[in-house]
Amino acid sequence: MNPVEITRGDSPVVLGLPHTGTHVPPDIMARLNARGQVLADTDWHIHRLYNGLLPGATTVRATFHRYVIDANRPPDGESLYPGQNTTGLVPLTDFDGHDIWNDAPDTDEVEARRAAFHAPYHAALQAELERVRAIHGVALLYDCHSIRSHIPFLFDGTLPDFNIGTAGGTTCAPSLQNATLEICAEAKGYTHILNGRFKGGWTTRHYGHPAEGFHAIQMELAQSTHLETEAPPFDYSDRKAARLRPVLGKILETLSDKVLELRP
């Protein structure tokens, strides 16, 4: 299976989808323990949730699961959140802190997976961002994520519905951050936070260089906003999604317009 799926469009917006993939090669799946094989830490149905919201948007989607290798972690394995519980380039535990491997990969295998999965995904993402910037003079990476709203190992309490990450305002122009924040604040029945527990992963931080015409925002959604339950089988909720999708669509449409205002 190709490690990355690309749908090219002519919008200035590129949707990154690093964690929706569920493909695990059979030899790797056999080494996961029963808990790991549930693949609980998937960004369930996020590609379906965003599908068609912004005509012309480019999408770059990793097809492999984050337990194979995490496409949103630095290739050198450095922690994104020093001093806090998190998972690494190839996670050794799930989000609840439990072991997921019967036979965890060694350093050589992690490097082989980086070359086979992580590198092709980011090569594709880089190429699409450069292609879009060549068309418009600017490009916006909107990195699409979701996570369960209650994970004591990673954070206290209940996660807000919309978690906007811009690495403290460094990865995009203020107008883009503020527009996203305003739409989320006005969305009735939803909660939001800017640069809270999730400030933007490696992808957002790596590609977000506003001075060079590359802007990046991460949106981490609480899975309670679009799943029937945050437990197996992690079914998609048409009812919840029908309420959420217009808000997400408004965010993408607004960002598409506003990023063009930043053209040199």
Per-residue pLDDT of the chain (264 residues; tens, 9 = 90+): 899 999 999 999 999 999 999 999 999 999 999 999 999 999 999 999 999 999 999 999 999 999 999 999 999 977 777 777 778 899 999 999 999 999 999 999 999 999 999 999 999 999 999 999 999 999 999 999 999 999 999 999 999 999 999 999 999 999 999 999 999 999 999 999 999 999 999 999 999 999 999 999 999 999 999 999 999 999 999 999 999 999 999 999 999 999 999 998
* pTM to 2 decimal places: 0.96
Q: Which two tokens stand for residue 89?
A: 């380039």
- Closest CA relative to residue 41, chosen from 236, 232, 239: 232
pLDDT attached to residue 82:
73
Instruction: Count the neighbouring beta carbons within 10 Å of the beta carbon of residue 245.
Output: 16
pLDDT attached to residue 202:
96
Q: What single letter denotes the amino acid at residue 166?
A: T
pLDDT attached to residue 116:
98
List the strands of the sheet with 4-7, edge to edge.
4-7, 58-62, 13-17, 139-147, 214-222, 162-165, 192-194
Burial 182-209, CB ≥16 within 10 A → b, else e: ebbeebeebbbbbbebbbbbbbbbbbbe
Cα 208 to Cα 215: distance, rounded to the nearest angstrom = 5
Instruction: Count the neighbouring beta carbons within 10 Å of the beta carbon of residue 223.
Output: 26
- CA torsion angle for 110, 113, 118, 124 (degrees, to 10)? 160
pLDDT attached to residue 88:
86
The bridge status of strand 58-62 relative to strand 192-194 is unpaired
One-character DSSP codes across 163-181: EEE-TTTTSS-HHHHHHHH
pLDDT attached to residue 109:
97
- Closest CA relative to residue 256, chosen from 202, 176, 183, 197: 176
pLDDT attached to residue 78:
78
